[in-house]
Structure 1
Amino acid sequence: MAAIALCAQPLFGITVPVWPIGIVCVALGAWNLLARRAAGDTGGWHLLLELLIDLGAWTTVLYLTGGATNPLISLLLPLIAVGAAVLPAPHTWLLSVLAVAAYTWLWNHHLPLGLDDPAQAVHWHLAGMWATFALSTAVVTWYVSRMTRAMRARDRALALAREQRLRNERIVAMANLAAGAAHEMGTPLATLKLLVDGLRSGADPESATEDLALMGQQIEHCRAILSRLTEAAGRRRPEFARRIAIGPWLDTLVASLRAQRPELSVRRSLPDVDVDIVADASLDQALRNLINNAATAAPRCAVEVSTAQRGAMLSIAIADRGPGIPDTVLASINAPQTRAHLPSEGLGIGLMLSASAIEQLGGSLEYTARRDGGTIATVTLPIAAPHDSLATALRTGH
């Protein structure tokens, strides 16, 4: 704008109202300085306001310098291009409509240019078109190059963040497995301690033989737990997870639990149509923890395990006949933000590890009270679609 006011007369012999254009330039510069100082608000409306003020300033200058006959009117296009890059779609359309309206208004409303040599009008018009094209090219190239650099920097930052998240997920998964294994080994180790105390107190030979056999079973149980942990070590989550049929998997899990705890009683029912899910060792560990917790809550009653399909999700309900959980504690258990602050004894660590493992696979864990006494732990998991690959199932949770 300043160049138009200062150079039009001496270089091109075109008379323009210098003072009005100068006032517009000063007003626009003052506004830009105020906007920079108040740069805290960078929302869509603030950016739209800045571009609308620029549009108004250019419209005023073009009105003073020939309106639609001024070839510099095409400089409104870079303004719209900038708006399209930084504004939401509704704001961009508003800016575009107002720019077209300004162009239309300037068609019949403007001050004519004063030329010292009217014969040179066509020449200067073509020269102005060239200058407009060159300036528009420079502005668009600079802005698009700047945006491209910013997008590339953002993509690099996102790639680094994604790699960091994957590493963190692997560390968390391994920590869950290790802590879960330690939690599960508590039962056989406690049994071994009781057996050792019994042998030290001088048990009879027949009882000692039975105790030694039971000790061997518990040692094998501990070895199996450590073997599962070793199997998971060093593997990435997508490779370690596998697509499984829920029926055979639960059969195997319950049989393994019964072998480890002969006194454990589990009643299970399956849906009429079997479905597949994506599971890994951490989910296996989570279900073991939940069933063991239910058995501990009501040692003399059977743990009831049932499954049901609800749309694209599978729910696994683990119900016990224990004393139940107080409503205040139940609310804390079901709230992820307070679950980590539960006491470590009782449900605490097992619940936290189980919920974390289930959530990593796109599922959820919720506890509810039974009407006739006891508690139901409901695990909800996404069902693997028939033709989905394993990687897709892990990525989308289906």
Structure 2
Amino acid sequence: MDVPLLALTNQPSRLPGRSPQEAVIENMRLLIQLRWIAVAGQLVAILVAHLLLDVTLPLAAMLSVAGLLALGNLLFTFTLRERWVVPGELFLALLLDMAALTAQLYLSGGVRNPFVSLYLLQIVLGAVLLPAGRAWLLVGVSIAAFIFLALRHLPLNLPPLGKDDIDLFLIGEEIAFVMVAILLVLFTTRISRNLRARDAYVAELRQRAAEEDSIVRMGLFASGAAHELGTPLSSLSVLVGDWQRMADYGSDPHFREELADARRAVERCREIVSDILDTSGLPRGEAMASLAAEQLLEGLVADWTALHEEVPLDASFGAVRGARIPGEPALRQALWSLLENAGEASPSGIVMRAEATGDQLVVHILDDGPGFAPEQIAALGQALRSAKGAGHGLGLFLASSVARRLGGSLDAGNRPEGGASVRFALPLVGSERSA
């Protein structure tokens, strides 16, 4: 008889959120969008001031700065498309923006230019995107640029104001304020969303690492216990065999039957110990052969019937014929643990239904027990969370870990008519099913 095993696999599964590298790439994409807005805004402002408002400007120099900024943005776009974003590139991008802004302000009045407030946009973006050290460095650069512009700049020659003329400087300040306010809200909210996605990814990664540690410790404990149990089990096997051969014990049919049961129990324990040791020797990440889903489920039903005659199992899985699943030993252990949990909660009987839908095998395990408490469902799959007391939450934890590692999922809930329902899903690796 096959025995449920515990093994580890290194198959990756998709984590929620964004990885730190993905977050950097997305933030760089937002900066590129903002820079195109800046290039377009500079061109519009220069042309409107020169052509419509009759403001004297060094057109060639200012258009050259806008062109260089656009060229730099094309370079950042290329590196982003090739995913060549390197550490510190966000800082370099913000420095480029600040340098272009400083050059344009130098050519158009320095700190007297109403658009000098755009420095605040760069500082806020740096505070959100950069580590503290680089953010403060960006602040220092902006302060130095501001002081430089206060001391050195080309004058901004505005046309003389008549009695009824519009104050161009005041209009410029109002436009600059509106631009900074809108761009700050628009881009910082999107950047903050990216950073929250990154934090969610890192938090989930830490949770997975903690679960990995728990699984490794369980595996080490199981392996050590198996080694220690080997000798006493061998002694028991020899002792029971000696008793069976003794005339005093062998002549009693009732006692002879009990000795035979004891011998079978000892041999089964030795098989379990041997299987645990064999499984512990599997290299992590080793490619597993596929297994017929029907074979696994039939084996589970046969073992359950042999070991738990007092708890009826109503099983139905005709819809999985031909479907194949990963031949991962821990998969059997995971499903066995779910059956054990259901059997403990519902001694009157449990139900197992399985079907292959699309590219997934879905197994439903139902019982008529008290069901799950809300906090159990909220903490589903976390180590040592159980209604059975401390240290008894390993079944759901193991099943959830195995499902996630194989690219599947584990969901639990309560049935409207009473009892618990667990849904175990994992991807198929092949199929022999005919159309």
Structure-2-length-normalised TM-score? 0.45
Normalized per residue, the structure richer in helix is: 1
Larger-Rg structure:
1
Structure-1-length-normalised TM-score? 0.49
Q: Which has the higher contact order (CA 8 A, sep 6+)?
A: 2
